[in-house]
C-alpha cells in the first residue's frame, strides 16, 4: 500500500500525511512508510524531495523514536548528486528540528560550500532561510558567515534584509570578531538600514546597531571607547522618534543596553534644546540617508518623547531605559527624577508601576533627592486605587531621605491616609513607617513630642487602638531609638509600653526585621529607661537597617539586654528565638513548640486581664508560624497537630475566661455562650487525650488539669443545670488525676489541691450553692497553666475515608427500604490494634448508624493501614434523593460509659477524620 | 517636470490655509480656509488667481480638506456655492460630520449676532457638504487615472489628516495642522516612509520647543485648583472640539482623584453635541481612549454638567468651558465681560490667539488692565490670566522630526509667522540639507520633481540580478584615523556594495524604449565589435656567450628559437618568482603580456638599435593596458640581461 502512496498523484501525499498524523497508525505501518520514503529520497529520479522531506518532518514530529533513522537518511540525502539546491533548506530545517547531536563535527552544517551555494542561490526564500538560521551553521568560519550576511543586507528584498540583520544580531553574541574594519562595516551597514522604507527592517536594524555598536566599542582603544559608545547611543536615539511603535520600543530597549554614555549626551536626552556642552559635537553615523554626521543635539528630548508616547509599551520601555542609564551620571539621575515624578500622573498602570520601580531603584542607590514640588504626585500614589501601585510607592518611599520636617510630616500624613483608606495595607505601612522613622530619627522625635498628648490613653484607660493615626504614631515612635541620627532622641518611655499593646500587629509587619520576642524585649527595655539613657545605650547602632544582618544585631541587643540589665528585666528569661533554630534542624517543630508552650504560660496573665484581642492575635501568629513549619517538616506532624490543638484550647480558654469575667455575679445572664464554649473546650481536650498516643504522664496530667478547669468553670459560674452530673464527672477526673499522682508521684498543682479540698468540703457540708461557687472560684484563681514539655515521641491517630465516583451529579443508586452498600477506601494512621473503631454514618444530626470496623483482618502495620470497605447503610429513607455523612471514630475506652447505642459504642467516640458526604439517589 | 505651488493663503501668516498645487498637469487645492482676523475681502483666498475666467471646475482636479477648523474650511461653502466649484471635495469622515456644525456656528455668529452681510447661507453649507466625498485613513483614492490621494492620521483635532497626493511619479504630502506628541484624547501623527518630492508643512511653532506635556498638565491643574480652592470661577474659552475635550478629560480625572465637588460646566449646544461625536468616533482618538473603551467611554465625563445662562452670576466656584476659543465673540465673550472684573476669577487663554481677538489683547495685557471690546465698550480686567501652553500643533522639534522621517527633496513652510519661518527654513536647509521655502501669499513656486522612465530589462540582466553579487570597497583614506583625531572620519573603512544594478547598462536607441542590459550583452545589443588596445615592443636580449654557444652548433632554427625562449623563461622565472609565468613553446605568457621571438628583420616595434644588437635575438612583446606595469618591468629586465652577466 505504501508503494501506491507515492505513486506521484497529489492525493498520495495527503493520504500519507493522514496516516502519519493519525495516532492509531501502527508502528509497523509507519516504519514501512518510512522505508519507502527514505528509498524515494535517495532515488535520483524522484523529483519531489520537498514533499518527502515534509512527510519525514511530520513523522519525526509524531514519533520521535523514528527520528534517528530520518536524520541519517537526510544526511545521506545531501550527498546525492542530483539534489536541487532549493531542497536543502527543507532538509536542513528537518535536521535542525530534530536532535542532531550525533552530527557534531561533520554534516551539512559544517559544509562551507553548501552554505555559500545556498546564499548565492537565486531563490529569495532560500536566502532568507539561510540568513535566519545562520546560527545553525556551526562549522562555517565566522568570517565567512559575517561577510556573506553583510553582503545579503544589500538584498533588494526587505524580508531578506531583515533576516540578514537578525542573523547579524544572533552572530554578534556567538562569534568573536577581532577584525575592526569588518565590525565597523557591519555596524555602519546596520545604521544605514535604520532608514529603510520597511518597518520590519528598521526594527531589526535597531537591534543590530545596538549589538554591533557594542562590539565596535569593545574593539576600539580605551581612549576612544567612550566616543564610539556615545555615537552608538546617539544613533539609537534617532530611532526613538520613528513612526512605528514597535521600533520605538526596541529603540528604548536598546538604549537601556548601552554600557557607557557621557553625561553631556544623557543630559541632552532630557533637554528640549541643544545644550551648550553638546552644541558643536558631531558623531559618526547616519543622520539621514545621505548625511553621515549626527549632531549631538539630535538626542534632544529623546526620553521625554518616549515618556509621553501614545503607547504605554513605549513609555514603559523608556522608563526601564532610564533606570539602566541612571548608573552613569548622578546629575542625569537628578533630572530624571523630575520627569519620573510627573509620570506618576500617567493614565496607564503599567507605566506608573515602572516609574515607581525606577524611583525605588534610585532611592536604593541613595540618589533620590525629593523636592517639595514632587510630593503631591509622589505621595498621591499612596492613595492610588491599585494595591500594586500603593505597594510599589511604599517601597520607593521606605528608603528616601527627606530634607525637611515639613516634607516628613506630609509623608506621614500620606501614609496615615493610605492606611485609613486601605486598612489591609497595615502591615506594609507599619514596616515603611518603621523604616523611614529610623532614617529620620530627629523628625520622629519632634513629631512625637508634639503629639504625645494624642498618644496618652484617655482617662477611661483605653488606648485608641482603633485610631489609625495613633497606631501610626506609635510605630513611628518606636523606630526612633534605633535611628541613624546620632543625636539624642527623646521619646517618652511610656510610648514604648503603649506600643507593646500592639505587639502582634507591629511584629507581624516587621517580620523581616525582628521576631516578636526581640521586639517585645526591645519595647519593654525601652519603656524602662528614661529618654536620655535609652538613646545613650542604643547609640543608633544596635538595630541596624540591613535585614540580613538584623539577626546578628538583634542577637547582640538581646544579649545586652539580658546580661547588662538583668536587674531591670526581672521576669524576662532568655531563650533562643525560634528563627535561629528552624533553619536547618529537623527538630525545629519540637523546639518551636517548646517555645510556644513556654510563652503560653506568659500569656495567661493577659487572658486573666481580659486582653483577648491581643491574645487571639498572638495565638493566630503562632498558629500561622506552625502552619509554615508544617509545610517544611513532615516527620514532626504529630507534634504540630498537638500544638495546634493545644493553642486552640488555650484560645477557647481565653474566650471562656473573658465570658466568665464579664458575667460577674449575674449568674443567669448569657449562659448559653459560656456553656457552648465550655462544651467545645471539653470536647477538644477529650480529643487530645484520645487521639494522641504516647503522651507522658505529665502531659496527660496537664490535659486533665485543663479538663478540671473547665468543669470548675462550669460549676463556679453556675452555668450548668445539672450540677450533680457535672460533679460526678469532675470527681471521676479527679480520681484519674489522683491515680496518676500515686503511680508516678507527680506533684499536683495548687489548683488541684485546692480543688480536692473544695470537693471534700462540699461533700462534707450541706451549704447552699453560693458557698460552693465561692469554693470553686477560689480554686480557680490559683490556676495557672504549667509549662508542658513534650518529652517522648507522640503519635497522632487519624483516618482517611475515600469514596470513589460519587458527587452530586453522580450519586449512588438505592432502593427505598433496602440496604445500600457504599464502597469506601479507609486509611488508618497510627491506630493500635487495641483500638475500637467505628464507622459512623449520619443521615441527620440525630440519627447515626454505627458499624464496627474490625480492621485487624486487613493487612498493614499500625502506622498505616489501607483497605477497601463496603459500608452497608440500612435505613434508606423514602425519598428520591438523600446524602449521608461518613466518618471514622474511635471509642474512648477510658471514659465512663455514657452512650446507649443499641449496636454502637458504649463510650464516648472521637472522630478521626472529616465527615465525607455521600450522595444517593433512587435507582 | 515640475511641481507648481500657488500659495493662496497661510503664506507667512496663520489663517485661511489654501494651497493650490499643480503636479504633472493636475491641480489640487489643499484646504480652503478663511481668515478670522479680517472682515473684508482679505478673509478669503484670492480665488481669481486660480482661473481668471472663473472656470474652477476645469482647472481644479479636486479639493482636499485636512480638518474642520475654519481657517482650513471656512471658505469652502463660499467657493463651491458662490464661486461655483462643482468638482470633488475630499475630507475624512469625522471632518465631514463636524464641518457643517462649525460652519453653521460661524455663520450664526457672523450674521445673527453681529448682523453682518451673509457670505453663505445654511443652504449653501448643506449643498456644499453634499459634494464632499469622505475618505478613511490610509485608504488610497484614485481621483482620476493619474491622481492618487491617501489620508494619514495627523492628531491635532478629531478627524484631522495629512494628505499624500501622487500624480504619476511626482508625489507630495500636505500636512495640514498636525501634532507629533499625543495628548489625552488624540494620538500623535502617523505616516509611513514615502518617496516624496515635496512636503508642505505647517509651522505654527517654527521656533518653539515645548516642554513635556506632563508639566503643562501639572501647571494647568494647579492653576485651576488654586482658583476654585479660593472660591473663584474659571473660564476656559476653547474651540468646541479638541482642547475642550482634552482639558475636560484631564479635569475629570483630577476631580475624581482629589475628590473635588466643584461643578464643571460645558456651555450648552455645540460642545455637548461635540462630545457625542467624540463618543461615536472613538477610532480616531488616542490609543488610551481606545484601550479603555471596552470598559468605559472616556468621554462620559463623570463630573461635568451642562451650563445655564442663569448660572453666570450664581455664587460659588465653578469651571466653565465656553466657545469660541479666542474670546472673539459669542458666549465666551459674554461670560468674560461678567467675570473679568473680579480679581478671584481666572481666565485660561488658549496657547495661540489670532491678532485682533480679545484673547490676543489679553495675552499681552498686564492685569489690572482696560480692554476695549469694541469701539464703545471697555472692560476693566482684574481677573487672573493664565495662558495655556496646550496646543494641538507640533513644535519645531516635531516639524524637524517629521521632515527628517519623510526626507523629501523639498519642503514648503506655510501656516506660521514670517520671521520664525525663516529661522526654521534655515535650520532645515542647514541641518537636513533639504531645500526649503517659505513663500508669501499669492506667490507661485516651482520645484523640480521626479520623473521615472520605464525601461525594459533583458533576460540576462534579470538573471544576473537574482543572485547576490556584492563586493567590498575599501576606502583609501590611508589613515586609520579615530574619532579623537582632528579630521574625524565619519565613514567606515570598508563598505559593502551590491553590484547587481551597477552591472546593468541603460541603453537608449533611436525609436526604441530604453533598455537595461547586462554588461556581457552590450556588444551584441549594440551590434558592434570589441576594440582592444594592444601595446607592443620589440627589443634585443643579449645572452651570455656561454649559454648560446651550445645551442648554435646543434640546433635547427626552430629549435633554436624555442631554446632561446626557454632560456629566457628560466631567467624570467628566476627573477620574477612572484608572477605566474607560462612557457607555451612559441611564446612566454605573463597574464596578457606575451613574449615571442621576433624573426622579422624590420620589426615596426623596434625602437632601439643598441650596440651588439645585431647578433642578439630580438623578442617581440605585446600586452594590454592592464598589465602595463608588469610589461615594462619585464622588458627592462630583458634589456639589461647581458649586463647582469658581464
Sheet containing strand B346-349, edge to edge, reads: B304-306, B264-266, B318-322, B233-237, B346-349, B384-387
Size of interface A-B (CB pairs under 8 A): 140
Arithmetic mean of pLDDT over chain A: 79
Tell me the mean pLDDT in the region A801-823. Answer: 84
pLDDT of B401 higher than 90 = yes
Band (A539; pLDDT cuts 50, 70, 90): very low
As given in the structure block, the three cell numbers for residue B245 are: 475635550
The CA distance from A576 to the nearest CA of chain B, in Å, is: 49
pLDDT tens readout for residues A741-764: 887 777 778 888 888 888 887 777
For chain A, first and last CA: distance in Å? 53
Contacts of A182 in chain B (CB under 8 A): 494
- A392: number of Cβ within 10 Å: 21
User: DSSP secondary structure string, A872-908?
Assistant: EE----SSSEEEEEEEEEEE-TTSPP----SSS-SS-
pLDDT of A778 higher than 80 = no
Contacts of A318 in chain B (CB under 8 A): none
Q: Are A919 and A812 in contact (CB under 8 A)?
A: yes
Q: Are A240 and A222 in contact (CB under 8 A)?
A: no
The mean-pLDDT minimum among B53-62, B127-136, B271-280, B302-311 falls in: B271-280
Beta-carbon contacts of B7 under 8 Å, excluding residues fewer than 6 positions away, are: B18, B19, B412, B414, B439, B440, B441, B442, B443, B444, B445
Measured CA to CA, the distance from residue A428 to residue A435 in angstroms comes to 11
Contacts of B191 in chain A (CB under 8 A): 243
Q: Do A220 and B482 touch (CB under 8 A)?
A: yes
Q: Do A224 and B483 touch (CB under 8 A)?
A: yes
Beta-carbon contacts of B372 under 8 Å, excluding residues fewer than 6 positions away, are: B361, B378, B379
Contacts of A305 in chain B (CB under 8 A): 181
Nearest residue, CB atoms, B488 vs list A189, A284, A300? A284
| Backbone torsions φ then ψ of A773, nearest 5 degrees | -55, -45
Q: Look at B582 and A354; give whichever has higher pLDDT.
A: A354
Q: Do A185 and B193 touch (CB under 8 A)?
A: no
pLDDT of A780 higher than 70 = yes
pLDDT of B486 higher than 50 = no
Nearest to B30 by CA among B127, B129, B172: B172
Beta-carbon contacts of B229 under 8 Å, excluding residues fewer than 6 positions away, are: B317
Tell me the mean pLDDT in the region A840-862. Answer: 78
pLDDT of B465 higher than 50 = yes
Pairing of β A881-891 and β A916-922: antiparallel
Nearest to B252 by CA among B323, B183, B308, B305: B305
Q: Do B432 and A272 touch (CB under 8 A)?
A: no
pLDDT tens readout for residues A49-73: 788 888 888 888 888 888 888 888 8
From A230, which residue of chain B is nearest by alpha-carbon distance? B483
State residue A585's pLDDT score.
41
Nearest residue, CB atoms, A309 vs list B182, B407, B492? B182
Long-range contacts of A124-127 (CB under 8 A, 24+ apart): A124/A155, A124/A157, A124/A159, A124/A160, A125/A86, A125/A89, A126/A85, A126/A86, A126/A88, A126/A89, A127/A152, A127/A155, A127/A157, A127/A160, A127/A163, A127/B468
pLDDT of A792 higher than 70 = no
| Backbone torsions φ then ψ of B300, nearest 5 degrees | -85, 85
Contacts of A304 in chain B (CB under 8 A): 212
Q: Do A272 and B211 touch (CB under 8 A)?
A: yes
Residue of A288, A302, A322, A350 to mutate, testing the B interface (most B Cβ within 10 Å of its Cβ): A288
pLDDT tens readout for residues A225-261: 889 999 999 999 999 999 999 999 999 999 999 989 9
B420 and chain A: CB distance < 8 Å anywhere? no
Q: What is the 3-state secondary structure (H, E, C) of B141-180?
A: EECCCCEEEEEEECCCCCCCEEEEEEECCEEEEECCCCCC
User: Which residues of chain B from 195 to 224 reach within 8 Å of chain A, CB to CB?
Assistant: 209-215, 217-218
Q: Look at A799 and A844; give whichever has higher pLDDT.
A: A799
The CA distance from A244 to the nearest CA of chain B, in Å, is: 8
State residue B165's pLDDT score.
95
The mean-pLDDT minimum among A686-695, A815-824, B406-415 falls in: A686-695
Whose grid coordinates read 469701539? Answer: B375
Contacts of A293 in chain B (CB under 8 A): 490
pLDDT tens readout for residues B439-462: 999 999 999 888 888 888 888 888
Tell me the mean pLDDT in the region A308-324. Answer: 92
The CA distance from B514 to the nearest CA of chain A, in Å, is: 22
pLDDT of A422 higher than 70 = yes
The CA distance from B223 to the nearest CA of chain A, in Å, is: 14
Tell me the mean pLDDT in the region A387-394. Answer: 90
pLDDT of A6 higher than 60 = no
Arithmetic mean of pLDDT over chain B: 84
State residue A466's pLDDT score.
62
Q: To which H or E segment does residue B23 belong?
A: strand B18-23
State residue A718's pLDDT score.
64
Q: Look at B56 and B371; give whichever has higher pLDDT.
A: B56
Tell me the mean pLDDT in the region B11-39. Answer: 90
Residue of B138, B479, B490, B500 to mutate, testing the A interface (most A Cβ within 10 Å of its Cβ): B490
Nearest residue, CB atoms, A311 vs list B193, B287, B397? B287
Q: Look at A367 and A270; give whichever has higher pLDDT.
A: A270
pLDDT tens readout for residues A131-156: 988 888 888 888 888 889 999 998 88
The CA distance from A407 to the nearest CA of chain B, in Å, is: 19
The mean-pLDDT minimum among A508-512, A569-573, B409-413 falls in: A569-573
- Pick the most confident of A591-600, B63-72, B106-115: B63-72
pLDDT of A844 higher than 80 = no
State residue A173's pLDDT score.
82
Band (A189; pLDDT cuts 50, 70, 90): very high
Nearest residue, CB atoms, A292 vs list B405, B490, B497? B490
From A160, which residue of chain B is nearest by alpha-carbon distance? B468
Pairing of β A864-873 and β A881-891: unpaired
Q: Are B340 and B347 in contact (CB under 8 A)?
A: yes
Largest CA distance in chain A: 121
Nearest residue, CB atoms, B432 vs list A122, A288, A304? A288
User: DSSP secondary structure string, A39-93?
Assistant: HHHH-TT---HHHHHHHHHHHHHH-GGGHHHHHHHHHHHTT-TT--TTHHHHHHH
Nearest to A881 by CA among A922, A842, A844, A917: A922
DSSP bridge partners of B446: B4
Question: So what's the ipTM on this one?
Answer: 0.81
- The alpha-helical segments, DSSP class H, found in A301-425 are 302-307, 312-325, 330-343, 349-364, 372-380, 387-397, 405-421
Tell me the mean pLDDT in the region A680-709. Answer: 82
Largest CA distance in chain B: 138
Nearest residue, CB atoms, A228 vs list B182, B253, B483? B483
The mean-pLDDT minimum among A369-383, A582-596, A797-811, A825-839 falls in: A582-596
The mean-pLDDT minimum among A362-371, A776-785, A892-901, B490-499 falls in: A892-901
From B489, which residue of chain A is nearest by alpha-carbon distance? A284
Band (A714; pLDDT cuts 50, 70, 90): confident
State residue A322's pLDDT score.
92
Q: Do A227 and B210 touch (CB under 8 A)?
A: no
State residue A211's pLDDT score.
93
The CA distance from B274 to the nearest CA of chain A, in Å, is: 23
pLDDT of B66 higher than 90 = yes
What residues of B act catalytically? Answer: 202
Contacts of A307 in chain B (CB under 8 A): 212, 214
Q: Do A272 and B405 touch (CB under 8 A)?
A: no
As given in the structure block, the three cell numbers for residue A80 are: 546525492
Q: What percent of chain B has pLDDT over 90?
A: 31
From A345, which residue of chain B is nearest by alpha-carbon distance? B214
Q: Do A243 and B468 touch (CB under 8 A)?
A: no
Q: Do B467 and A120 touch (CB under 8 A)?
A: yes
- A836: number of Cβ within 10 Å: 16
B459 and chain A: CB distance < 8 Å anywhere? no
The CA distance from A304 to the nearest CA of chain B, in Å, is: 6
pLDDT of A540 higher than 50 = no
pLDDT tens readout for residues A444-499: 888 888 887 777 765 555 555 567 888 888 888 888 776 655 444 567 777 787 88
Residue B606 DSSP code? B
pLDDT tens readout for residues A64-123: 888 888 888 888 887 777 777 777 788 888 777 776 555 555 677 778 888 888 888 888
Band (B642; pLDDT cuts 50, 70, 90): low
Measured CA to CA, the distance from residue A94 to residue A61 in angstroms comes to 10
As given in the structure block, the three cell numbers for residue A419 are: 492606611
Whose grid coordinates read 507661485? Answer: B444
pLDDT tens readout for residues B508-540: 888 888 888 888 887 887 788 878 888 888 888
B484 and chain A: CB distance < 8 Å anywhere? yes
pLDDT of A839 higher than 50 = yes
Chain-centre distance of CA B600, in angstroms? 72
Residue B212 DSSP code? P
Q: Do B184 and A347 touch (CB under 8 A)?
A: yes
Amino acid at each position: 500500500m505504501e508503494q501506491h502512496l507515492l505513486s506521484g498523484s497529489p492525493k498520495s501525499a495527503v493520504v500519507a500525511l493522514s496516516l502519519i498524523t493519525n495516532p492509531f497508525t501502527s508502528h509497523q505501518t509507519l516504519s514501512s512508510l518510512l522505508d519507502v520514503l527514505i528509498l524515494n529520497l535517495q532515488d535520483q529520479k524522484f523529483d519531489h524531495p520537498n514533499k518527502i522531506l515534509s512527510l519525514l518532518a511530520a513523522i519525526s514530529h509524531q514519533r520521535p523514536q523514528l527520528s534517528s533513522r530520518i536524520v541519517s537518511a537526510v544526511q545521506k540525502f545531501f550527498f546525492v548528486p542530483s539534489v536541487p539546491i532549493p531542497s536543502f533548506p527543507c532538509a536542513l530545517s528537518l535536521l535542525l528540528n530534530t536532535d542532531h547531536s550525533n552530527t557534531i563535527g561533520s554534516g551539512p552544517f559544517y559544509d562551507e560550500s553548501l552554505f555559500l551555494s545556498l546564499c548565492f542561490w537565486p531563490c529569495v526564500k532560500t536566502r532568507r532561510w539561510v540568513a535566519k538560521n545562520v546560527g545553525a551553521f556551526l562549522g562555517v568560519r565566522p568570517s565567512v558567515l559575517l561577510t556573506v550576511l553583510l553582503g545579503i543586507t544589500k538584498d533588494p528584498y526587505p524580508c531578506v534584509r531583515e533576516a540578514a540583520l537578525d542573523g547579524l544580531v544572533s552572530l554578534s553574541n556567538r562569534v568573536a570578531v577581532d577584525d575592526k574594519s569588518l565590525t565597523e562595516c557591519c555596524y555602519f551597514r546596520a545604521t544605514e538600514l535604520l532608514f529603510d522604507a520597511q518597518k520590519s527592517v528598521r526594527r531589526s536594524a535597531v537591534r543590530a546597531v545596538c549589538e554591533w555598536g557594542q562590539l565596535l566599542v569593545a574593539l576600539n582603544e580605551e581612549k576612544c571607547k567612550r566616543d564610539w559608545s556615545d555615537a552608538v547611543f546617539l544613533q539609537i536615539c534617532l530611532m526613538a522618534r520613528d513612526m512605528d511603535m514597535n521600533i520605538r520600543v526596541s529603540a528604548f530597549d536598546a538604549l537601556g543596553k548601552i554600557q557607557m554614555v557621557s553625561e553631556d549626551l544623557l543630559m541632552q536626552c532630557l533637554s528640549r534644546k541643544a545644550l551648550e556642552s553638546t552644541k558643536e559635537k558631531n558623531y559618526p553615523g547616519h543622520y539621514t540617508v545621505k548625511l553621515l554626521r549626527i549632531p549631538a543635539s539630535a538626542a534632544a528630548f529623546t526620553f521625554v518623547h518616549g515618556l509621553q508616547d501614545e503607547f504605554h509599551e513605549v513609555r514603559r520601555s523608556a522608563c526601564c531605559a532610564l533606570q539602566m542609564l541612571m548608573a552613569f551620571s548622578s546629575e542625569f539621575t537628578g533630572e530624571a527624577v523630575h520627569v519620573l515624578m510627573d509620570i506618576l500622573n500617567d493614565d496607564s498602570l503599567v507605566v506608573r508601576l515602572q516609574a515607581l520601580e525606577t524611583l525605588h531603584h534610585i532611592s536604593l542607590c541613595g540618589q533620590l533627592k525629593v523636592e517639595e514640588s514632587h510630593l503631591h504626585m509622589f505621595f498621591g500614589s499612596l492613595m492610588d486605587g491599585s494595591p500594586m501601585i500603593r505597594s510599589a510607592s511604599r517601597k520607593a518611599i521606605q528608603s528616601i531621605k527627606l530634607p525637611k520636617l515639613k516634607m516628613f510630616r506630609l509623608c506621614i500624613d500620606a501614609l496615615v491616609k493610605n492606611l485609613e483608606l486601605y486598612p489591609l495595607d497595615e502591615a506594609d505601612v507599619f514596616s515603611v513607617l518603621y523604616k523611614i522613622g529610623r532614617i529620620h530619627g530627629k523628625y520622629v522625635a519632634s513629631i512625637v513630642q508634639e503629639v504625645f498628648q494624642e498618644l496618652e490613653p484617655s482617662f477611661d484607660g483605653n488606648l485608641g487602638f482603633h485610631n489609625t493615626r495613633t497606631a501610626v504614631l506609635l510605630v513611628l515612635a518606636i523606630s526612633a531609638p534605633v535611628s541613624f541620627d546620632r543625636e539624642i532622641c527623646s521619646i517618652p518611655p511610656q510610648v514604648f509600653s503603649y506600643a507593646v499593646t500592639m505587639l502582634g500587629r507591629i511584629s507581624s509587619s516587621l517580620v523581616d526585621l525582628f521576631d516578636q520576642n526581640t521586639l517585645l524585649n526591645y519595647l519593654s527595655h525601652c519603656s524602662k529607661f528614661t529618654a536620655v539613657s535609652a538613646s545613650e545605650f542604643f547609640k543608633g547602632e544596635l538595630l541596624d537597617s540591613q535585614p540580613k544582618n538584623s539577626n546578628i544585631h538583634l542577637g547582640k541587643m538581646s544579649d545586652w539586654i539580658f546580661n547588662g540589665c538583668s536587674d531591670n528585666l526581672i521576669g524576662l528569661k532568655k531563650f533562643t528565638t525560634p528563627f535561629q533554630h528552624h533553619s536547618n534542624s529537623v527538630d525545629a517543630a519540637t523546639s518551636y513548640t517548646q517555645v510556644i508552650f513556654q510563652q503560653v504560660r506568659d500569656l495567661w496573665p493577659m487572658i486573666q486581664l481580659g486582653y483577648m484581642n491581643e491574645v487571639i492575635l498572638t495565638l493566630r501568629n503562632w498558629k500561622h508560624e506552625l502552619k509554615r513549619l508544617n509545610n517544611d517538616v513532615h516527620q514532626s506532624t504529630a507534634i504540630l497537630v498537638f500544638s495546634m490543638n493545644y493553642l486552640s484550647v488555650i484560645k477557647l480558654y481565653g474566650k471562656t475566661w473573658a465570658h466568665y469575667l464579664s458575667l460577674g455575679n449575674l449568674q443567669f445572664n448569657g449562659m448559653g455562650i459560656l456553656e457552648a464554649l465550655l462544651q467545645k473546650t471539653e470536647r477538644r481536650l477529650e480529643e487530645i487525650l484520645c487521639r494522641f498516643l504516647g503522651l507522658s504522664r505529665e502531659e496527660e496530667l496537664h490535659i486533665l488539669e485543663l479538663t478540671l478547669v473547665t468543669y470548675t468553670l462550669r460549676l463556679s459560674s453556675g452555668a450548668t443545670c445539672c450540677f450533680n452530673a457535672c460533679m460526678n464527672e469532675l470527681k471521676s477526673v479527679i480520681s484519674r488525676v489522683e491515680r496518676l499522682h500515686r503511680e508516678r508521684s507527680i506533684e499536683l498543682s495548687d489548683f488541684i489541691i485546692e480543688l480536692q479540698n473544695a470537693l471534700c468540703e462540699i461533700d462534707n457540708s450541706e451549704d447552699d450553692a453560693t458557698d460552693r461557687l465561692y469554693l470553686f472560684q477560689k480554686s480557680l484563681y490559683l490556676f495557672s497553666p504549667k509549662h508542658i514539655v513534650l518529652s517522648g515521641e507522640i503519635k497522632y491517630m487519624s483516618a482517611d475515608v475515600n469514596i470513589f465516583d460519587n458527587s452530586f451529579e453522580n450519586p449512588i443508586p438505592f432502593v427505598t427500604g433496602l440496604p445500600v452498600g457504599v464502597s469506601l477506601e479507609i486509611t488508618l494512621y497510627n491506630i493500635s490494634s487495641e483500638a475500637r473503631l467505628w464507622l459512623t454514618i449520619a443521615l441527620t444530626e440525630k440519627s447515626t448508624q454505627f458499624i464496627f470496623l474490625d480492621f485487624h483482618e486487613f493487612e498493614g502495620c499500625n502506622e498505616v493501614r489501607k483497605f477497601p470497605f463496603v459500608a452497608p447503610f440500612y435505613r434508606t429513607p423514602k425519598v428520591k434523593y438523600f446524602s449521608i455523612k461518613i466518618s471514622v471514630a474511635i471509642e474512648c475506652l477510658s471514659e465512663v460509659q455514657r452512650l446507649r447505642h443499641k449496636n454502637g459504642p458504649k463510650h464516648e467516640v472521637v472522630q478521626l477524620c472529616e465527615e465525607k458526604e455521600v450522595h444517593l439517589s433512587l435507582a | 517636470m515640475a511641481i507648481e505651488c500657488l500659495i493662496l493663503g497661510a503664506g507667512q501668516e496663520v489663517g485661511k490655509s489654501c494651497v493650490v498645487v499643480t503636479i504633472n498637469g493636475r491641480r489640487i487645492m489643499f484646504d480652503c480656509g478663511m481668515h478670522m482676523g479680517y472682515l473684508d475681502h482679505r478673509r478669503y483666498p484670492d480665488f481669481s488667481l486660480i482661473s481668471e475666467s472663473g472656470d474652477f471646475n476645469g482647472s481644479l482636479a479636486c479639493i482636499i480638506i485636512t480638518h474642520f477648523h475654519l481657517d482650513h474650511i471656512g471658505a469652502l461653502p463660499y467657493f463651491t456655492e458662490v464661486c461655483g466649484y462643482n468638482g470633488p471635495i475630499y475630507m475624512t469622515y469625522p471632518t465631514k460630520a463636524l464641518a457643517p456644525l462649525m460652519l453653521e456656528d460661524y455663520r450664526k455668529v457672523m450674521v445673527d449676532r453681529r448682523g453682518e452681510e451673509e457670505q453663505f447661507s445654511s443652504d449653501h453649507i448643506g449643498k456644499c457638504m453634499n459634494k464632499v466625498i469622505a475618505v478613511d485613513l490610509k485608504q488610497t483614492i484614485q481621483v482620476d487615472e493619474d491622481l492618487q490621494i491617501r489620508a494619514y492620521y495627523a492628531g491635532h483635532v478629531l478627524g484631522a489628516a495629512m494628505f499624500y497626493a501622487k500624480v504619476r511619479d511626482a508625489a507630495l504630502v500636505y500636512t495640514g495642522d498636525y501634532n507629533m506628541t499625543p495628548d489625552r484624547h488624540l494620538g500623535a501623527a502617523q505616516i509611513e516612509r514615502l518617496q516624496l518630492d515635496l512636503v508642505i508643512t505647517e509651522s505654527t511653532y517654527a521656533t518653539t520647543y515645548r516642554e513635556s506635556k506632563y508639566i503643562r498638565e501639572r501647571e494647568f491643574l494647579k492653576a485651576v485648583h488654586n482658583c476654585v480652592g479660593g472660591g473663584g470661577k474659571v473660564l476656559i474659552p476653547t474651540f468646541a472640539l479638541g482642547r475642550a475635550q482634552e482639558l475636560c478629560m484631564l479635569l475629570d480625572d483630577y476631580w475624581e482623584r482629589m475628590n473635588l465637588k466643584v461643578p464643571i460646566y460645558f456651555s450648552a449646544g455645540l460642545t455637548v453635541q461635540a462630545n457625542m461625536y467624540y463618543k461615536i468616533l472613538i477610532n480616531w482618538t488616542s490609543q488610551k481612549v481606545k484601550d479603555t473603551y471596552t470598559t468605559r467611554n472616556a468621554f462620559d465625563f463623570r463630573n461635568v454638567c451642562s451650563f445655564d445662562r442663569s448660572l453666570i452670576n450664581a455664587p460659588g466656584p465653578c469651571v466653565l468651558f465656553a466657545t469660541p476659543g479666542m474670546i472673539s465673540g459669542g458666549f465666551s465673550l459674554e461670560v468674560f465681560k461678567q467675570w473679568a472684573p473680579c480679581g478671584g476669577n481666572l481666565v485660561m487663554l488658549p496657547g495661540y490667539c489670532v491678532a485682533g481677538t480679545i484673547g490676543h489683547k489679553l495675552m499681552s495685557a498686564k492685569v489690572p488692565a482696560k480692554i476695549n471690546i469694541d469701539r464703545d465698550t471697555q472692560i476693566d480686567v482684574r481677573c487672573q490670566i493664565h495662558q495655556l501652553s496646550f496646543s494641538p500643533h507640533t513644535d519645531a522639534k516635531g516639524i524637524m522630526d517629521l521632515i527628517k522621517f519623510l526626507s523629501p527633496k523639498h519642503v514648503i513652510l506655510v501656516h506660521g509667522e514670517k520671521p520664525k519661518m525663516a529661522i526654521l527654513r534655515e535650520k532645515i536647509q542647514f541641518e537636513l540639507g533639504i531645500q526649503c521655502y517659505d513663500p508669501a501669499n499669492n506667490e507661485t513656486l516651482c520645484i523640480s520633481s521626479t520623473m521615472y522612465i520605464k525601461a525594459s530589462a533583458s533576460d540576462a540582466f534579470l538573471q544576473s540580478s537574482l543572485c547576490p553579487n556584492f563586493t567590498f570597497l575599501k576606502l583609501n583614506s590611508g589613515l586609520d584615523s579615530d574619532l579623537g583625531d582632528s579630521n574625524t572620519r565619519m565613514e567606515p573603512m570598508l563598505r559593502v556594495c551590491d553590484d547587481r544594478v551597477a552591472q546593468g547598462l541603460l541603453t537608449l536607441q533611436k525609436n526604441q524604449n530604453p533598455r537595461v542590459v547586462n554588461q556581457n550583452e552590450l556588444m551584441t545589443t549594440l551590434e558592434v565589435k570589441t576594440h582592444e588596445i594592444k601595446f607592443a615592443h620589440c627589443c634585443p636580449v643579449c645572452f651570455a656567450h656561454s649559454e648560446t654557444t651550445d645551442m648554435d652548433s646543434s640546433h635547427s632554427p626552430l629549435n633554436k628559437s624555442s631554446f632561446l625562449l626557454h632560456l629566457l623563461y628560466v631567467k624570467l622565472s628566476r627573477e620574477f618568482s612572484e608572477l605566474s609565468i607560462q612557457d607555451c613553446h612559441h611564446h612566454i605568457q605573463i597574464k596578457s603580456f606575451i613574449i615571442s621571438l621576433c624573426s622579422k628583420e624590420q620589426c615596426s616595434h623596434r625602437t632601439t638599435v643598441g650596440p651588439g644588437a645585431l647578433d642578439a635575438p630580438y623578442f617581440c612583446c605585446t600586452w594590454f593596458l592592464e598589465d602595463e606595469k608588469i610589461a615594462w618591468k619585464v622588458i627592462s629586465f630583458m634589456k639589461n640581461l647581458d649586463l647582469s652577466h658581464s
